[in-house]
Amino acid sequence: MRPINLLPRVPLSRRLLKPVIAAIIMVTAVVAVGIFLLYDQYRDTNRMYEAEIARLETQMLELLASERPPRYADVTAYRELVERLERSGRDWGPMFELAGGLLPRGSSIASVAADENGKVTLSVRMSDLAGIAAYSAALREAEPVADAAVVSIRLESSLTADGAAVRAVPVYSALIELQLANPTGTEGAGS
């Protein structure tokens, strides 16, 4: 005899419900894990970038603290020279005015040094050798200077803008030593 199934037949939707729900749950779990992994990777990348930015900012601050701009160093050196000269009791104003006033046009004084014995060393930058010779001769003829001697001359080059073109121009750097007639600076201090 043939077996007879008296139970009602289970519809297809009911038979597929459990596997479909299981598949939906698995896909949802995989998507959730993927989102979590992507978020974790994003967070780690952000932390790495933040650490790198902090490290670069720290290095930048250390570099700024360790390096003083050359302009600041020049100002500091000049201030120290002025304070040292003020302590020596000599009025150096007329000497500096003389040295600056006799400079040819387009020239500059790079540095000035003085000692207690009345020797002043000027470092000047000029465009030609004739200007250096004329400047040292003019200094030699000036009132408070007993002697002026050019110690060294060095040829350098400087970039200048000539319209739209930039070209190298020869510049001479000379070291001139001056011996003052009155090294103590006390003569005529009352006037």
Find the helix or strand (DSSP H, E) in which 17 lies: helix 12-66
Nearest to 155 by CA among 113, 127, 121, 122: 127
Q: Tell whether 131 is covered by a domain.
A: yes
**Same domain, residue pair 92 and 154:** yes
> How much of the chain is helix, strand and coil, in % rounded to 5?
50, 25, 25
**In-domain check, residue 153:** yes
Give the model confidence (pLDDT) of 90-127 as tens digits.
666 777 788 888 888 878 888 888 777 778 888 898 88
The answer to whether 147 and 117 are in contact (CB under 8 A) is no
pLDDT tens sequence across 120-141:
888 898 888 888 889 888 888 8
pLDDT at position 191 is: 35
Beta-carbon count within 10 A of 39 CB: 10
Instruction: Report pTM.
Output: 0.48
Neighbouring-strand partners of residue 35: none
Dihedral sign of CA atoms 85, 91, 93, 94 in order: negative
CATH of residue 96 = 3.30.1360
